[in-house]
Chain A
Amino acid sequence: MSENSRALKLAEANQKLANKRKGAKEKWGIVLDTSKCIDCKACTVACKMENYVPVGFYNYRIWVAEDTHYAKYPTVNRSFQPSQCQQCENPPCVHVCPTHASYKTADGVIMVDADKCILCKYCMTACPYDARYESHTTEAIDKCTFCYQRREEGKDPACVETCPPKVRVFGDLNDPNSEASRLLAENEYTVLKPEKGTRPKLKYIK
């Protein structure tokens, strides 16, 4: 199967799955402990493989940015900030999309219906996290879906599953007993750009 048709097939399957899961009660989120990140970038590779993200340096759904606020010698350290679509509870990309191509599933995942996307790129200018790109395989805007295809089997997203030091913990934030909720209850955490009012579901442990 060609790269294009695999990517398209996956996008279509995810739309169907989102329709099927209309009654879902979960609120998926990822809790990240960036102090564990070793910058191996396995998550970015796993994401590309799992989701047929097209080849190209700027075609990506997730990234690992180096923290540039270096300490001074002799107390040097290096740290990294892995990130992706923040799966906002108040998503600007969904508000601005003229055709409802960008939408939020019942379980709170922001997805793009490739059939409806007109590639006006309004969502790209609206996203405060630069989490979207124009995919030439689906001929639509593409972004992280929390590997929605894995929801049925209950598997973790590829980036979570592959991470050697377990930086990311994926779970239902509505379920107080999930590991993610437990981590949030036990630790102080923050989100990226809280001032934008987007209420991200990617939570960073301080």
Chain B
Amino acid sequence: MSTNTTTMDVFAKNDKISNIWLILTLLVSLFGLYGLFSVLINGHEAYGVTRTVPWGILISTYVFFVVSSTGLCLVSSMGHVFGIENFEVIGKRSIILAIFTLLCGFGVIALELGHPFRMMIYNVISPNFASAIWWMGTLYGIYLVFIIIEFYFLMNHNHKGAFYAGLGGFLAGISAHSNLGAVFGLLEARPFWHGPYLPIYFILSALISGSALIIIIFFVAYRSPSNMPEKVVKVLKSITKIFGFLIGILIFFDIWKVITSIYGAPPEKFEAVQTLLSGQLGVNFWLFEIALGMLIPFFIIIFTKGKNIKASLVAAISAVIGIFYMRYDLVIAGQLVPMREPAPGAHVQGALPNGLVSYTPSFTEISIVIGAIAFCAFLYLMAEKYLNLNEE
């Protein structure tokens, strides 16, 4: 165990990251400042959320970020926690991106919460242990501490330290993330979400997000497979296979979710799933969630047998875009069936003639989302450019 690290080991310039990308991502993230100022000036009136759809695109983007973070942590733990030697090369990059995606997720949810600072106080002095949001928030806080320590040990080549911090991060991450599923899954009022399905589904989709992002960030780091060391190519091929296999399982999950929601037209579940199959979320569902998120990456990996990692990159980018919409669909579809019949006098906000309600993200919300994603990419590119994230 060596902790005598010189700054040479921690910092190294990666010339493959061009300044143009850094500037570009920074400029796009400035767009998020528009959203930030808009909400600071106008308050939550600037959001498209309503009385009937209180959780909008900021919640789904938060979910997207923390799913990515958890997935990166879980997949990378195969290396330095579970000792699969090949996977050790992905550790540093996965964990630094896990930290950034989590921080950006926290940033987005801080803007969605009415009182983010009050949350930090009352989460501690007035905790409700029966609340899934309390557990989710607290466990993600603990998880953040673990992965920061883990990253520190990885940078210092302290394998034993990285193992313990990684194990802590793995346990906290998996508990936090299944609790995030439970935030939705515990709501008896919302049949589309209610049940044990979501905590399990969230872990599965986290692994998919993590695998896809790892493939993408290694292309960012090395630009093309020809620059990659043999070890990296090997691990990316393994990850591609896991990635394809997990998408297969996800397709299976989705098929049964849809069937159980339409068979016998169970009240409220049926109407919610119809918004995906043929309603207002139809394009999101079929084009983004199903085609880009599942079918395209699945068939790319099947037909290339996972051996062509350039093809894997296409599959990974497609899946990440699809997964972003998957989160949105999940969060919104669960709220589109109003809790009261939109009869005259009932004042059901956003009611449509078909008895459902609608939600459209506002420009402010969209700018925050785009800004946060761009800022996350900027942070990662900075880390990639100035830190030594290579394992060899």
| Interface mask (A116-128 → B, CB under 8 Å = 1, otherwise 0) | 1111111011111
- Tell whether A36 is near chain B: CB-to-CB under 8 Å: no
| Bound-state Cα–Cα, A92 to B343, Å | 24
Contacts of A60 in B (CB 8 A): 347
| Bound-state Cα–Cα, A96 to B183, Å | 8
| Bound-state Cα–Cα, A68 to B346, Å | 11
- Tell whether A197 is near chain B: CB-to-CB under 8 Å: yes
| Bound-state Cα–Cα, A89 to B220, Å | 55
**Given known contacts A119-B114, A124-B51, A130-B51, A96 and B133 CB-to-CB distance under 8 angstroms:** yes
- Contact across chains for A118 and B122 when beta carbons are under 8 A apart: yes
Interface residue stretch chosen among A1-9, A13-21, A97-105, A170-178: A97-105
- Contact across chains for B345 and A122 when beta carbons are under 8 A apart: no
With a 10 A CB-CB cut-off, give which of B54, B55, B133, B347 has the most chain A CB atoms. B54
Tally of B interface residues using CB under 8 Å: 45
For chain A, residues 65 to 121, give those with C-beta under 8 angstroms from any C-beta of chain B. 65-68, 80, 92, 95-101, 115-121
| Bound-state Cα–Cα, A130 to B347, Å | 10
- Tell whether B41 is near chain A: CB-to-CB under 8 Å: no
Contacts of A127 in B (CB 8 A): 189, 339
- Contact across chains for B345 and A118 when beta carbons are under 8 A apart: no
B160 vs chain A, min Cβ distance (A): 36
Tell me if B's interface is mostly helix, strand, loop or mixed.
loop
| Bound-state Cα–Cα, A54 to B152, Å | 51
For chain A, residues 123 to 152, give those with C-beta under 8 angstroms from any C-beta of chain B. 124-130, 132-134, 136, 139-140
- Tell whether B349 is near chain A: CB-to-CB under 8 Å: yes
- Tell whether B126 is near chain A: CB-to-CB under 8 Å: yes
Which of the residues A68, A119, A136, A196 comes within 8 Å of B189, measured between beta carbons?
A196
B94 vs chain A, min Cβ distance (A): 29
**Given known contacts A58-B347, A119-B115, A122-B183, A129 and B339 CB-to-CB distance under 8 angstroms:** yes
- Contact across chains for B188 and A99 when beta carbons are under 8 A apart: no
| Bound-state Cα–Cα, A130 to B349, Å | 10
Interface set of B (CB-CB < 8 Å, partner A): 43-45, 49-52, 54-55, 113-116, 118-119, 122-123, 126-128, 130-134, 137, 183, 186-190, 334-335, 338-341, 343-349
A-B pairs, 10 with minimum CB distance:
A119-B114, A65-B346, A99-B122, A128-B189, A121-B54, A98-B134, A130-B339, A118-B119, A124-B54, A98-B131
Would you list 23 pairs from A and B whose C-beta atoms are within 8 A, ordered by A residue?
Answer: A41-B345, A58-B50, A63-B346, A63-B347, A68-B343, A98-B127, A98-B133, A99-B119, A99-B134, A100-B122, A100-B128, A101-B122, A101-B126, A118-B113, A118-B114, A125-B335, A126-B187, A129-B339, A130-B51, A130-B338, A134-B114, A136-B43, A136-B45
